[in-house]
Structure formats: C-alpha cells, structure tokens
C-alpha cells in the first residue's frame, strides 16, 4: 500500500528534525562561522585557492581517491562471491554468514584495532605463521602503511557492499536463470549474460556507497596507516585540532561534502532504477 | 600531554557543538576541570580532588575535552568548564585568543608562588608537572650497545630496526631531535629551521614505522616490539618497564614539556578553579601525584618528599639539569600554521 | 525446416521427500505431434515437463529424445525450445536480444542471428518491436516474444508450460491458433502443459490427463472426451452426467428402474455427455435408455438450452438441447422423457 505523501513526511519528520538539529545546524554554524572569519567572498575565494591547491590538500585528495578506489575494488571482488553465497544460503548457514559479516560491528573500533595489531603486527600472528613455515625470512609490513589502510578499510566496508549486493541478488528471478540454462546457456554464460547484468545496478550502488563512505574515512587510516597515508578527512581534522585553522577546514569540508553529495545523487538515481525494474 | 585516549579527536565537532550543558544544579559548589582522562583522573582524584573537597566542600568533576572543543566552547560563548589541565602549548593558544583569566597567585593560601619553578610560572598558566620525551630502546634488539643520543638514533646503519617518532598530532613533531641529530647544539635549537629539520627527518623516514599520535599507541608499539627505537613520554615508558617489559631509555637529550593549569575567563566557577589550582600546587600534593604519574613536580619544595630513586625516574630534577632541555612553546605557538602545513606536505610526500 | 523428433518417458518417477510427485509415467510421442499434458493444479505437469527439459533429474526411469537417452543430459545439451509458465523474458534485454538469446549462446554468426530473429518475430507478428523492453509490452506481446524465442533456433522439440495462462479469453483463443499454426509450419514436436481442458481439446493431437502424478488417460481429444476410462477424466473434461446404476444379472437398471444399455464398460456409473441426451415431451416408448423425469430448470444459453432434469432417487441429469429450427422449450415442472444412444454412453467404475 503506497503511503500518501503527507503520511510519509509525517513519519519522516522526527528523523529529519533530529538530523537538522544535530547535523545540519552544527555544520552550517561551523562552515558559516568559519568562512565569515575570512571576510568577503573574494577573500574566501583567495583562501580557497591557496588551501585547495596547496601541496598537502592535493596530495591528500589524490591519496583519498586512490585508496577509496582500491578499497572499493577489493570490497567488490570479495563481496560479490560472498553475497552470492549469502543469497543462496538458507537457514543456519545464512545466519552464520550474516553473523560473520555483521558481528564485528558490535565491537568497538579500539578492540578491533588491537585485534588487527595482534594479527598483522610485526610480531603478529600472520607474520609468525609465515616465518614459521619458512615462507618469508623478514616479517612483512602489514600495518602502519598503505597495506594496513587497505586491509582495515576493506574489512570495515565489506558489509555495506555485501548487503547491497545481497538485496540485488535476492531480487533476481531464479526462473530467468533456469530459462537461460534451458535455452542452451552454460553456467558461465548464465552468470555473465543474465545474472551479472541483472545485479549490475546493485554493483553500481554498492560501488558508489562504498566509495562515498571510503572518501570520508578517518579512523581506520589514522589507526592502520603509515606516515604518508593521509586522507582528506584526516587533514580536515588536523586543521581543526592542530592548526585551529577552521576556515581552511571548512573549505575542505565543503569540497568533501560536495563530492559526496554528487556521488550520492548518482547512487539515489541508480537505486531508484533498480527499484523500477522489479 | 594533551591526550591519553586512542581516539581523542574523532568526535571533535559533534562533541564540541552538541554537548548538552555539563553543569547541574550545584553549580557554585562544583569545579569542572578538563583533564587528559583515564588513569590520570584516578590518581588526581585520590591526591587532589577528594582532599580538596574535604577541605573546601567544593566537588570536582573531571571531563575530557580536546583543544578544539575548548576553543569551540570559547567561541560559541558557552564555556562549560572552569579549570583546564592540559599541555602548556594548548593553554598558550587559548591565552592568545583571550580566553584565559590570569592565575590568581596573590590569592594563594596553600601554595607559595615563589616555590614554583620560574620556567612554568606564567601570568595565564601555571605548570603542574613536567614530563619528558625520551629516547627509548628495546633491550631485546640492543642487548649490548644501544643508541645514546639522537644522532645515534638517526644512525640506522649502526642501530638497525624500525623506529617511531611523534606526529604533529601530539602537538609537535620531533623537530628538536631531528636538529640535534643533525648536529645543532642544544642551546641553538630555537628558532627551529623547519627545512633543515625536515631534511633530517627525510633521512630517517624509511626507518620510521609510524609517527605516533597518542600516548597509548606509542606504548603499544614499544611493548609489541613493533618498533625497537622511539621517542616516548617517560611516564608511559616507565609504566611498561615497571611491568617487566624488556625496554629501557636514556635521559640524554630528553625534552621537557609542561602540563599546566589555566582558568577560563568566562568560567562560571572561576573562584573555585583558582582555589583548586592553588591546592594542586602544594609541595606534598604535587609529590604524591608526581610519584604515581612518574612526572616531575614543579614546586621546588616537593623534592623533599621524594626519595632519590623516585627522583631518578622523573624529569625536572638533576637528570634534566644535566641533559635535558625545555621545549620552547612560544616558538611552536608562533609557528603553528607554518609547521603544520610543512608537516602535512612533507608527510604526504 | 528441421522437423520434429520423437520424445519418450519410460516409467519416470520423481519424489520430493516422501511425496511422490510423478509416479511411473510413461509416454511415447512421435515426431511432429502436438501433445498436451492436462490436469488440475499440483498434478505434476510442470514436474514432468521439467524432467523433459532437464531441470529435474528423475529418480527412476529414462528420458529419451530422438531415440537417444537424455536422462542425465543437462538442459543445454537437449536443444529444446521452451516457453515458460511466466514467459521469463530477460528484463535487461530488448525484444530482439531476447529472441536472439538461444542463438547468441550457441555463438551463431551475426547475420544468421539477424535473419532468424526477423523471421521469428515476423512469425509471431512482432516485427517493429525489436527495441522494446519487456516492461514496455502487453501480456500478449510478451507471450509472443517468449514464443518467438522458443522457436528461433528451429528446435525439433518445443516445451510450453501454460504459455497462455495469463491471457484473457479472446487473446487466448487467438494465440492458440497461432501457436498451432507455427508448430505445424515448422513441424516441431510440441509438448504443451495446460489445465484448461478446452485449450487442450482445441490444440492437441493427443492429450495425457494427469492426476496425482499419474497419467489417468491418454489419447486423441475426441477419444478422451467421448470415451473416458474413469469418473475423474469424464468429470475433468467438460460437463458429464454420472449416474449410479444397479446391476441385475446381465441387466443394468437406471434410477427409475428402466433398462440401460451402454456402449462399453463394466462399472456401475453411467457416463453420458449432456449434448448426447435428447429431451422430449412424449412418454417413454419402452425402449432402453429412456428416463422419465421432471424439468428442474432450463438455462437459456443462446444456441443451447441446458435442462436439469430430476429423474428420481435424488439424481439429476443434464441435457443440452440445440436451439435449432422449431425448437420447443420445456418449462420447469414439465414432465419429460430423456433419451440417449447406447454408443454415446459408457459404464465406468464407481
Ligand atoms: N522442488 C519441489 N520440491 C518439493 N515439492 C515440489 C517441488 N516442485 C513441485 N513440487 C510438488 O510437486 C507437486 C506437483 O507440482 P507441479 O509443479 O508439477 O504441478 P503442476 O501440475 O505443474 O501444477 P500447476 O498447474 O499449479 O502449475 C506439487 O504438489 C508440488 O507442491
Ligand atoms: Mg505448473
């Protein structure tokens, strides 16, 4: 039963109000107040020019995009088969897989990070095993560098991809796959010509949501990364916390927010199309 | 020492802007104090806050807040705490914004202003203890010869192995040590030649596993042998050593930094804050918490309450006179923008 | 044209858990025949078809096509054309791409694909719809796409599972004719599933009526309609009078005690179709198969008047009288005599 417009708005009202109060108002206050400090529009523009095209910001933006892209790719490659298994699983197996994916979210970031240290550290479990079986002679550096950031972010973002893909895969009409098989398609062809295209909107949505989330990542790269693994959100934090240079932080925030909103607009369109298909 | 938690600044904005009023009904009878949190609060409660309450009837409530949150409070005209117990550099920044009231030395009843080390006794802030950033090493990695100076720390050929240094996020990157390693005499470190410091940093960078940004992380990396050499706060390291970790450090070329007290000029309980500061500076009180924190008292009279072994573990005494140096926070505060820009750019290379 | 291939099921059984869904079904379908599986919902039609298609592997028995054992061959090795119960049109492909699918997966040359798709679309009268997507087509058009896709590769055997189930009556009739025509033109063997008996009668060369996983009866439409072997088949295919009769030695007696002569059969249920029963106002003449009764009601259906006649002992007989020249209408309550020919009736097991 489709909700009337009014009912929908009424149901959304508390959430919207909360968002406006605890999110929009403070952000507006922060950005507005900080930029006002700079003075006129042309002065703001001058500062923006200086900030955004200075070496650090450019580097961080490059870093951010590169890391986000790499993580998104990895998450997709790992998440796709995982979601497929999940969409096929029933009963206990389904619950088990789902639990494995979601459970880590019930532990705090600190606990998770210490778990990573135990696992990935120089004297961590993985290095000990690899050294033990003689596969390596020197411990691998799996943490406090780009590898660590990628591992950590991939892990944290995986559920978003898996759950998005799961929804798309679950919605695929199994009879279409059977029909394709009946028309002479091999399992590989069924997958490539029917299953993949039918889940493509899910892939695009999953990629966008993962990428959007990855762009704003702060905690994981800060904890798992090395000296050079600075992402844009970390730079913003530095400007706020270390330099007390809030106008600069505000400008970077606007850039990040704009990019995010543009990507989100794509995401919204694609999920709508996915809905319409069904 | 502006933080002890591992994620100090993550919730910065939300927390700064959305915190509901901290103050309850018993406003007049309560002092709210910003602290680094964690074990620090327990030690201070035992040796300072509870005795203070017994003496005056004023209760003390410690809360955690980052530097940016303090600034946000001041700017939003919504100062929600009275006393600030934080790094001296942080307080200098607040002072420069006009956020602080002068320390009321003339009103002191318990402590004598003339007993306070002159280096830390300032108009708008008063140091309550000193801590040192020292050169630490793993006894497992270096059972015999170990680095004894920053020049040797920089010598990866003689002393191989992964290292760590402080990130700008701790308040200042270890430019001082880089210059010492590069041959600059201790008394000519300031004004820091940023380019020269970064050039020296570039030489050691391949050996740096990570620039630590929190005290907890630095301790974790040392105790996990994730690094075999590092700069670290003496108290953090001493705690590990006391738990039998195979670690050691040298007092040679240590940098003394100051934890200090400041009072918000718009504080609701300014008077209570001034009194708590006075109370905290007493020789016996300082000696008691300094012993446990393993940091140095700033009241000269506190030394008499400490044993020789206890003094040997702390900065500020003979150790420091012989081989340490005070960090020049004025230079850092004056060059905050320049340093952070240069650092961010350098780190991203 | 490639023509058809023969199809056979040999004592095929399929169980799901403890439930036997198809129980020892055997059929032999000669090449080019239009064969229909007819039966109520849940009788095992789709399961039987799925075993022919290869989606379901039988627990027992063999599937033979063109003389070759196909029991274990996967669907793609069977070379069948198929129309699915819900069309199964790929939403991400347009009409032309959908129809081309069986050829594309085989890796047919582009030119051939184009030609065959055009031919198939012409056959189902969808030329000009190539670029449309399923969501832009009506139910009937989607059905034609499914049909075109089933025949595009000129399969020797085409399986159709209730292809017209979702269409309205007019369209159904229209499509029945088209499907039959295409099947005949291409000479394919067609195996068709429906639970609509009229559709089965119109289209098929032979019909197998399924009941509870078994074939109740199999034969040409007229035979299964006029000579049912069981009450189930008699009742399932259209209207049937099923009267309890009694045996008195060699004599068979109807509800009023009158003598009954049946064309065939041994049981105690008399079967006769309503259209085989005549209604007259005259009194019984004393011959066999004459039942006196009273009109309960008369339904005027236009070309036919359907009478329900009370023949005593709680039994009612339906009789269809053609509304022909000079036809007389018997009013409710009027006494009438019913009569049918012995060869139009059968005695079935109770
Ligand atoms: N995969 C399966 N697992 C368990 N039971 C099944 C399965 N497929 C079919 N059945 C059962 O087998 C019986 C026959 O099903 P089938 O689909 O062959 O019937 P049908 O004659 O095609 O019915 P309809 O006219 O409703 O399509 C039903 O009782 C059904 O519930
Ligand atoms: Mg069916």
Determine the residue of C21, C161, C195 to mutate for testing ligand 1's pocket, defined as the one with the most ligand atoms within 8 A of the Cβ atom: C21
Instruction: Over range C248-271, report the average pLDDT.
Output: 77
Overall CATH class of domain B3-130+258-321: alpha beta
Mapped onto helix, strand or coil, the DSSP state of residue C189 is: strand
Listed in sequence order, the residues at least 6 apart from C284 whose beta carbon sits closer than 8 Å to its beta carbon are C258, C290, C291, C292, C337
Length of chain C: 350
Query: Where, residue-wise, is CATH 2.40.50.100 in chain C?
Result: 242-348
Instruction: Over range C5-19, report the average pLDDT.
Output: 94
How many separate domains does chain A show?
A: 1
CATH number (2.160.10.10, 3.40.190.10, 3.30.950.10, 3.40.50.1820) of B133-254+328-348 reads 3.40.190.10
> Cα separation of B232 and B241, whole Å?
13
Is C13 within 8 Å of C61 (Cβ atoms)? yes
The domain of A92 spans 51-277
Nearest CA to ligand 1 atom 28: C42
Is B150 within 8 Å of B193 (Cβ atoms)? no
C321: left (phi over 0), alpha (psi -120 to 50) or beta: beta
Residue C76 has its nearest CB partner, among A185, A198, A277, at A185
Give the Å distance between the CA of C167 and the centre of ligand 2.
Answer: 16
CA-nearest of C174, C102, C100, C113 to C138 is C174
Residue B210 has its nearest CB partner, among A54, A123, A226, at A226
- What's the pLDDT at B62? 96
Residue B5 has pLDDT above 80, yes or no: no
Residue A12 has pLDDT above 80, yes or no: yes
Determine the residue of C14, C15, C16 to mutate for testing ligand 1's pocket, defined as the one with the most ligand atoms within 8 A of the Cβ atom: C16
Beta strand C80-83 with C157-161: parallel, antiparallel or unpaired?
A: parallel
Beta strand B247-264 with B325-326: parallel, antiparallel or unpaired?
A: parallel
* Backbone phi and psi for residue C290, each to the nearest 5 degrees, phi listed first: -120, 125
Query: Where, residue-wise, is CATH 3.40.50.300 in chain C?
Result: 7-232
* Backbone phi and psi for residue A119, each to the nearest 5 degrees, phi listed first: -85, -45
Ligand that lies nearest to the alpha carbon of residue C42, given by its number in the listed order: 1
Q: Tell if the CB–CB gap between C86 and A183 is shorter than 8 Å.
A: no
Give B269-320 pLDDT, tens digit per residue: 999 999 999 999 999 999 999 999 999 999 999 999 999 999 989 997 777 7
Residue B331 has pLDDT above 80, yes or no: yes
Instruction: Over range C202-227, report the average pLDDT.
Output: 94
Q: In chain B, where does DSSP find H-type helix?
A: 12-18, 39-44, 50-56, 67-75, 88-96, 150-153, 175-181, 194-204, 215-223, 234-242, 270-280, 283-293, 308-313, 318-323, 329-334, 336-347
Give B225-266 pLDDT, tens digit per residue: 999 999 999 999 999 999 999 999 999 999 999 999 999 999
Q: Tell if the CB–CB gap between C90 and A194 is shorter than 8 Å.
A: yes
Residue ranges of domains in chain B: 3-130+258-321, 133-254+328-348
| Window C:153-192, CB contacts with A under 8 Å | 153
Specify the DSSP element, H or E, that contains C169.
helix C169-186
The answer to whether residue A123 neighbours chain B at the CB level (below 8 Å) is yes
CA-nearest of B47, B6, B346, B34 to B197 is B346
Residue B27 has pLDDT above 80, yes or no: no
Q: Tell if the CB–CB gap between C76 and A198 is shorter than 8 Å.
A: no
Domains B3-130+258-321 and B133-254+328-348 share a fold: yes
CATH number (2.40.50.140, 2.40.50.100, 1.10.8.50, 3.30.70.100) of C242-348 reads 2.40.50.100
CA angle C98, A190, C164 (to 5 degrees): 45
Per the listing, tokens 């709680």 go with C314
Q: In B114-251, where does DSSP find H-type helix?
A: 150-153, 175-181, 194-204, 215-223, 234-242
Listed in sequence order, the residues at least 6 apart from B44 whose beta carbon sits closer than 8 Å to its beta carbon are B35, B62, B85, B289
Q: Is residue A82 part of a domain?
A: yes
Is A226 within 8 Å of B206 (Cβ atoms)? no
The answer to whether residue A235 neighbours chain B at the CB level (below 8 Å) is yes
Ligand that lies nearest to the alpha carbon of residue C194, given by its number in the listed order: 1
> Cα separation of C276 and C321, whole Å?
9
Give the Å distance between the CA of C105 and the centre of ligand 2.
Answer: 27
C269 lines ligand 1 (CB under 6 A): no
CATH number (2.40.30.10, 3.40.50.300, 3.40.50.740, 3.40.1390.10) of C7-232 reads 3.40.50.300
Mapped onto helix, strand or coil, the DSSP state of residue A171 is: coil
Instruction: Over range C153-169, report the average pLDDT.
Output: 88
The answer to whether residue A186 neighbours chain C at the CB level (below 8 Å) is yes
Please give the order of strands across the beta sheet that includes C246-248.
Answer: C246-248, C251-253, C259-260
- What's the pLDDT at C2? 56
| C135 contact residues in A (CB cutoff 8 A) | 277
> Cα separation of A185 and C104, whole Å?
9
Give the Å distance between the CA of B123 and the centre of ligand 2.
Answer: 91
- What's the pLDDT at A3? 67
| Window B:262-281, CB contacts with A under 8 Å | none
Mean predicted lDDT score pLDDT of chain A: 87
> Cα separation of B150 and B254, whole Å?
9
Mean predicted lDDT score pLDDT of chain C: 89
Give A132-181 pLDDT, tens digit per residue: 998 888 888 898 999 999 999 999 899 999 999 999 999 999 989 999 99
Q: Which residue of A has its CA nearest to C155?
A: A183
Residue C84 has pLDDT above 90, yes or no: no
Q: Is residue A178 part of a domain?
A: yes
C156 lines ligand 1 (CB under 6 A): no
> Cα separation of C32 and C191, whole Å?
10
Listed in sequence order, the residues at least 6 apart from C176 whose beta carbon sits closer than 8 Å to its beta carbon are C164, C199, C202, C203
Q: Comparing A249-253, C287-291, C292-296, C304-308, which segment has the lowest mean pLDDT?
A: C287-291
Is C201 within 8 Å of C177 (Cβ atoms)? no
- Predicted-assembly ipTM surpassing the 0.85 threshold: no
C47 lines ligand 1 (CB under 6 A): yes
Tell me the CATH number at A200: 1.10.3720.10
Cα-based distances in Å from C34 to C31, C191, C233: 9, 6, 20
> Cα separation of B58 and B205, whole Å?
50
Q: Which residue of A has its CA nearest to C149?
A: A183
* Better-scored residue on pLDDT, A109 or C241: C241
Residue C113 has pLDDT above 80, yes or no: yes
State the pLDDT confidence band at A250, using cuts at 50, 70 and 90.
confident
Residue C189 has pLDDT above 50, yes or no: yes
Tell me which chains share at least 3 CB pairs under 8 Å with chain C: A
- What's the pLDDT at C140? 86
| A180 contact residues in C (CB cutoff 8 A) | 90, 101, 105
Residue A56 has its nearest CB partner, among B208, B210, B344, at B344
- What's the pLDDT at B200? 97
Report every protein residue that has its C-beta within 5 angstroms of ion ligand 2.
C 46
> Cα separation of A108 and A111, whole Å?
5
Instruction: Over range A243-265, report the average pLDDT.
Output: 87
């Amino acid at each position: 039963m489709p909700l009337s417009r009014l009912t929908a708005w009424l149901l959304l009202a508390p959430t919207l109000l909360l968002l406006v109060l605890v999110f929009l108002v403070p952000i507006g206050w922060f950005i507005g107040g900080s930029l006002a400090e700079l003075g006129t529009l042309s002065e703001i523009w001058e500062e923006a020019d200086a900030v955004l095209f200075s070496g650090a910001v450019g580097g961080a933006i490059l870093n951010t995009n590169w890391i986000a892209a790499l993580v998104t790719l990895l998450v997709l490659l790992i998440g796709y088969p995982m979601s497929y298994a999940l969409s096929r699983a029933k009963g206990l197996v389904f619950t088990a897989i789902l639990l494995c994916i979601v459970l880590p979210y019930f532990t705090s970031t600190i606990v998770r990070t210490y778990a990573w240290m135990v696992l990935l550290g120089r004297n961590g479990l993985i290095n000990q095993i690899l050294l033990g079986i003689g596969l390596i002679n020197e411990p691998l550096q799996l943490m406090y560098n780009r590898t660590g950031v990628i591992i950590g972010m991939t892990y944290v973002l995986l559920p978003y991809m898996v759950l998005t893909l799961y929804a798309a895969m679950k919605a695929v009409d199994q009879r279409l796959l059977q029909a394709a098989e009946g028309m002479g398609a091999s399992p590989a062809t069924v997958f490539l010509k029917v299953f993949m295209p039918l889940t493509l909107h899910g892939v695009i949505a999953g990629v966008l949501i993962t990428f959007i989330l990855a762009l704003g990542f702060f905690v994981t790269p800060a904890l798992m990364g090395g000296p050079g693994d600075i992402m844009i959100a970390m730079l913003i934090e530095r400007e706020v916390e270390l330099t007390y240079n809030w106008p600069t932080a505000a400008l970077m925030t606007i850039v990040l927010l704009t990019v995010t909103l543009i990507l989100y607009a794509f995401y919204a369109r694609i999920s709508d199309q996915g809905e319409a298909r069904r | 020492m502006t933080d002890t938690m591992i994620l100090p600044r993550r919730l910065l904005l939300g927390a700064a802007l959305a915190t509901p009023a901290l103050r309850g009904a018993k406003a007049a009878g309560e002092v709210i104090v910003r602290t680094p949190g964690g074990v620090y609060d327990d030690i201070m409660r035992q040796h300072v806050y509870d005795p203070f309450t017994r003496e005056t009837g004023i209760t003390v409530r410690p809360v955690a807040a980052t530097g940016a949150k303090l600034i946000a409070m001041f700017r939003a005209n919504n100062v929600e705490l009275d006393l600030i117990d934080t790094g001296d550099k942080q307080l200098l920044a607040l002072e420069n914004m006009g956020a602080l009231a002068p320390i009321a030395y003339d009103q002191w009843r318990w402590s004598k202003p003339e007993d306070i080390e002159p280096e830390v006794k300032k108009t708008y802030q008063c140091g309550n203890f000193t801590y040192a950033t020292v050169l630490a090493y793993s006894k497992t990695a270096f059972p015999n010869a170990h680095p004894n100076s920053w020049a040797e720390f920089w010598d990866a050929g003689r002393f191989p192995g992964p290292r760590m240094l402080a990130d700008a996020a701790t308040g200042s990157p270890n430019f001082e040590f880089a210059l010492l390693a590069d041959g600059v005499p201790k008394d000519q470190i300031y004004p820091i030649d940023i380019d020269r410091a970064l050039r020296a940093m570039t030489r050691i960078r391949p050996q740096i596993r990570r620039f630590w940004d929190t005290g907890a992380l630095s301790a974790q990396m040392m105790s996990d042998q994730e690094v075999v050499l590092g700069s670290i706060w003496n108290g953090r390291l001493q705690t590990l050593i006391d738990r039998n970790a195979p670690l050691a450090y040298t007092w040679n070329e240590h940098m003394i930094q100051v934890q200090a007290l400041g009072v918000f000029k718009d504080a609701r309980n300014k008077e209570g804050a001034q009194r708590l500061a006075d109370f905290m500076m007493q020789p016996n009180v300082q000696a008691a918490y300094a012993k446990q924190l393993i940091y140095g008292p700033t009241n000269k009279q506190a030394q008499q309450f400490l044993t020789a072994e206890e003094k040997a573990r702390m900065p500020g005494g003979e150790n420091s006179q012989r081989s340490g140096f005070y960090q020049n926070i004025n230079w850092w505060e004056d060059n905050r923008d320049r340093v952070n820009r240069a650092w961010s750019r350098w780190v991203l290379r | 044209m490639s023509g058809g291939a023969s199809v056979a099921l040999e004592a095929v059984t399929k169980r799901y858990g403890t439930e036997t869904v198809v129980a020892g079904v055997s059929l032999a379908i000669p090449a080019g025949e239009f064969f229909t599986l007819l039966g109520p919902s849940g009788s095992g039609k789709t399961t039987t078809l799925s075993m022919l298609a290869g989606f379901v592997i039988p627990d027992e028995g063999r599937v033979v096509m063109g003389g070759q054992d196909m029991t274990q061959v996967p669907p793609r090795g069977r070379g069948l054309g198929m129309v699915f119960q819900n069309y199964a049109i790929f939403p991400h492909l347009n009409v032309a791409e959908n129809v081309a699918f069986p050829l594309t997966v085989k890796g047919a040359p582009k030119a051939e694909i184009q030609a065959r798709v055009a031919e198939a679309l012409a056959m189902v009268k969808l030329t000009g719809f190539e670029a449309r997507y399923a969501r832009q087509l009506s139910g009937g058009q989607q059905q034609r796409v499914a049909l075109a896709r089933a025949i595009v590769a000129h399969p020797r055997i085409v399986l159709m599972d209730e292809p017209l189930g979702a269409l309205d009556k007019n369209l159904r009739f229209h499509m029945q004719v088209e499907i039959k025509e295409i099947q005949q033109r291409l000479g394919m063997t067609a195996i068709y599933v429906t639970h609509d008996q009229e559709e089965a009668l119109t289209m098929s060369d032979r019909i197998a009526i399924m009941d509870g996983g078994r074939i109740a009866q199999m034969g040409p439409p007229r035979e299964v309609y006029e000579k049912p072997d069981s009450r189930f088949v008699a009742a399932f295919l259209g209207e049937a009078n099923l009267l309890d009769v009694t045996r008195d030695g060699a004599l068979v007696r109807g509800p009023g005690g009158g003598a009954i002569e049946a064309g065939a059969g041994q049981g105690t249920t008399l079967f006769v179709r309503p259209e085989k029963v005549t209604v007259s106002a005259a009194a019984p003449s004393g011959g066999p198969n004459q039942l006196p009764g009273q009109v309960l009601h008369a339904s005027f259906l236009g070309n036919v008047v359907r009478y329900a006649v009370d023949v005593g002992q709680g039994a009612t007989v339906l009789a269809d009288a053609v509304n022909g020249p000079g036809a007389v209408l018997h009013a409710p309550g009027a006494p009438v005599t019913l009569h049918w020919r012995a060869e139009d009736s059968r005695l079935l097991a109770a």
